[in-house]
Amino acid sequence: MYRSLSDSDVSNKRRSTSCVMLVVVLGCLVVLGILLAIAVLKRPPAPKDHEVLPGDTGGSSFTTDQCSMTLVESIPQHMSFKANVTFGIPLEKAWKDLISMATDQMDVASFYWTLTGEDINVNSSSDAPGRDILEQLETLPSRNVSVRVVTSIPSFKTNSTDLEILKQKGVQVRAVDFGRLTKGVLHSKFWIVDRKHVFIGSANMDWRALTQVKELGVVIYNCSSLAEDLHKIFQSYWVMGQPNSSLPQPWPSKYDTDINKHHPLLVKDGNVSSRLYLAGSPPSFCPKSRTQDLEAILSIISEAHHYIDIAVMEYFPATLFERPRRYWPFIDDAIRTAAFEKEVKIRMLISCGRDSDPAMLPFLQSLASMDSSKHHINIQIKLYIVPVGNQSDIPYSRVNHNKYMVTDKEAYIGTSNWSGDYFLTTAGVGLVISQHAPHPVWKTEALQSQLRAVFDRDWHSEFAVNLADLGHHPDCALSK
């Protein structure tokens, strides 16, 4: 017989059902929590080389600026290359375009100024482009463009009248006594136009930079975020150009930056996505939020996977200007580590001219001696020699003044030679660029790709000589 359920039976059954449901719900919540935790912890895979970056900025600052980048070069007169090779736009054109675009203000930082031949007691028709640049700069105040110039108190004798002429036209000029402040110099070379266009590169305000010295830089147009960040560096020079200035400890918060190695600026130009940041030196001029120039270079070298191409005028794992000189192996060690531990292919294109320091040679030979196919170590070094020809009466010319590096991951365009002083006591800036794009676009539009093509052009040119094959060369002070 079946008995009817009592009230207590019904109540017990309901309690039992409720317990089961509660266990099920709790179990679902636990599973959901685990899934959420996994979703939070799991990072999306890194984009493959040169693919378009995802919409997520990944810790970057995104700007709506229409930033576009153009490689800029100066090729000395009487140098010719094979057909169908890559060139940046001429430096003279880039500078004249920036001057013509200026409507409100222009800030210029340069180690020194010699835009006419008289400045160095030379009579040469090749100073004509420098004269043109000086004349155009003179007109800016009359166009209601505010112009400020910072330069280094010269550590060498100069007859230059450029800055006096500009001051008479209304340009504000300050010379910074880096010798007193840091025992270095102001070696930066950059322009900021209307707080939105920027030039950074190896070229000083020197007529020889336009016609007699091989230079490389970059112009970035319509990029207010980056221009404002560079302006903070300019402003630090400007205030230190006042009489009796002293370095603040720490720098006031208005000099802080939101753009650095850990938080780059993300910009898009067509199908090319770029992460950018500015690095600075010396450390005493960098707030904690600014990536230091040495840190940027070491980071780029350590993060390369396949190749590192370096083009610099001087390479010394030592200090050059302080006495006594000190061994300074940081960049040298990073290069050796990349070649030995990661089997990264290293190519170094070092300038050699009549004024190059022969003390550089043992360091280069030491690096080159590591090259060994048997041990999978690939370090190749060439000297880049600009022919002097009939230009021997022009001092400190006919030299490759470039200061850049490009890897399979990043590009770096700077203003410093690679020796200890430039990162310890001397003012300089570097632009770090990491770009991604679909392959067809990458080859034609990415500045990173163009920079590699320029390096390849120079590496395979008649002006690049293997270190081991140098022998005697009248235009290279490192030769026997």
- Annotation says 443 is catalytic: no
Alpha helices by DSSP H, listed for 328-381, are 330-341, 361-368
Q: Which of 187, 197, 214, 403 is catalytic?
A: 187
- Annotation says 196 is catalytic: no
* Cβ partners under 8 Å of residue 274, min gap 6: 67, 69, 266, 267, 268, 433, 434, 435, 436, 447
Is 420:319 a contact under the CB 8 Å cutoff? yes
Positions of E strands within 28-143: 61-62, 68-74, 89-90, 105-110, 113-114
* Ramachandran angles phi, psi of 444, nearest 5°: -105, -25
Which residue is listed with tokens 């950059």? 190
Q: Which of 189, 196, 263, 382 is catalytic?
A: 189
DSSP state of 359: G
Q: Which residue in 358, 349, 415, 430 sits closest to 384, CA to CA?
A: 349
- Annotation says 187 is catalytic: yes
- Annotation says 473 is catalytic: no
Q: Which residue in 277, 223, 207, 266 sits closest to 98, CA to CA?
A: 223
Is 347:456 a contact under the CB 8 Å cutoff? no
Q: Which residue in 153, 184, 174 sits closest to 283, CA to CA?
A: 184
d(CA 364, CA 318): 12
Which residue is listed with tokens 């410093």? 416
Q: Which of 194, 256, 371, 408 is catalytic?
A: 194
Q: Which of 196, 214, 263, 401 is catalytic?
A: 401
Half-sphere exposure of residue 350: CA atoms within 13 angstroms, side-chain side: 29
Is 478:361 a contact under the CB 8 Å cutoff? yes
Residue 174's DSSP bridge partners are: 150
What are 25's two structure tokens? 């719900």
- Catalytically active residues are 187, 189, 194, 401
